[in-house]
Structure 1
């Protein structure tokens, strides 16, 4: 009796899917989503870092605001990762993966005072939101309107959160 072994998908050998987007297009969108995942993961963790370390006269308002921002970001982390997986892709979801792939500049070690922290978060959040908006066009070009819609939701939520942060700085 012959024994067959099922092959498992790897980073380079995608999972089979019935999604009717061509494999080359899915690979491009997968790369886009995995980059977004790294940036969102970094942003999520720096928001918690800010939450734990912020000081100053606006401490409690910022401390609580950063928790809300964290919750918004964390929801998008999961949605972006699951979309990459649904496309048959490999999802690098370890902290070290995000640290190695993020495009965000390092959060300043000395940032603790309220408005300094807000400014650092706002600058990074703007970068992530703008990247999501750029990704919408890429996803549309690659015939993946579901990912384009997902990134539209991400950029809309992040723009709103950016507005909240930037309002502190005005």
Structure 2
């Protein structure tokens, strides 16, 4: 159990999921909230610092990606609160509970940023797919469906990133 999930106090709710199911699912969602917040800030790091011939297109792409992640942050946090728990989404909680590696702060080249983000999106996509399975297995199909929606979007973004890395059809 992560530090974020162990801080959770549950409030009364009429939702028809048992406390055990909600506790299990909230632990997963809390890990996702931290990781999604971290990924969003890493994408913004790339957005602010990208340089090179593809600056403008990557600057716009990264900003669009960060905006999409902000929507996922809200979706995950609101699901936590719908289950009667507290969404712990501060920067410190995110930093302590994210599954992602720290972003390399010294890179500026567009290809280096795309590579770093592709690595992080791949790790995040794996986490989301595991969350689909674990929340479904726990008995919360709605949360599994939320993760499925996120998974499709993350896979698409990973495809966009990887498309920038292909040279001469290889």
Both proteins in one fold, TM over 0.5: yes
- CA displacement, residues 26-63 of structure 1 (integer Å, 9 cap, x when unaligned): 10100000100111000101111100000111100100
Confirm whether residue 139 of structure 1 aligns to residue 135 of structure 2.
Answer: yes
TM-score (norm: length of structure 2): 0.92
Indicate the residue corresponding to 1:166 in structure 2: 162
Give 1:18 shift: 1.0
**Separation (CA, whole Å) in 2 of partners of 1:75 and 1:16:** 26
Equivalent position to 1:62, from 58, 62, 75: 58
**Separation (CA, whole Å) in 2 of partners of 1:21 and 1:128:** 27
CA RMSD in angstroms comes to 1.2
**Separation (CA, whole Å) in 2 of partners of 1:151 and 1:117:** 26
Query: CA 1:33–1:12 in 2, change beyond 3 Å: closer, same or farther?
Result: closer
Query: What runs of 5+ residues in structure 2 fail to find an aligned partner?
Result: 1-5
Equivalent position to 2:77, from 81, 96, 114: 81
- CA displacement, residues 55-114 of structure 1 (integer Å, 9 cap, x when unaligned): 111100100000110111110000000001110112111111101111100111221100
Give 1:115 shift: 0.3
Indicate the residue corresponding to 1:22 in structure 2: 18
Equivalent position to 1:155, from 139, 151, 156: 151
- CA displacement, residues 117-143 of structure 1 (integer Å, 9 cap, x when unaligned): 000011001111111111011111111
**Separation (CA, whole Å) in 2 of partners of 1:22 and 1:64:** 44
Q: Aligned residues, how many?
A: 161
Runs of 4+ in 1 over 6 A off after TM superposition: none
- 1:11–1:89: 8 Å Cα contact kept in structure 2? no
- 1:30–1:87: 8 Å Cα contact kept in structure 2? yes
Indicate the residue corresponding to 2:88 in structure 1: 92
Equivalent position to 2:68, from 69, 72, 75: 72
Equivalent position to 2:27, from 18, 23, 31: 31
Confirm whether residue 115 of structure 1 aligns to residue 111 of structure 2.
Answer: yes
TM-score (norm: length of structure 1): 0.92
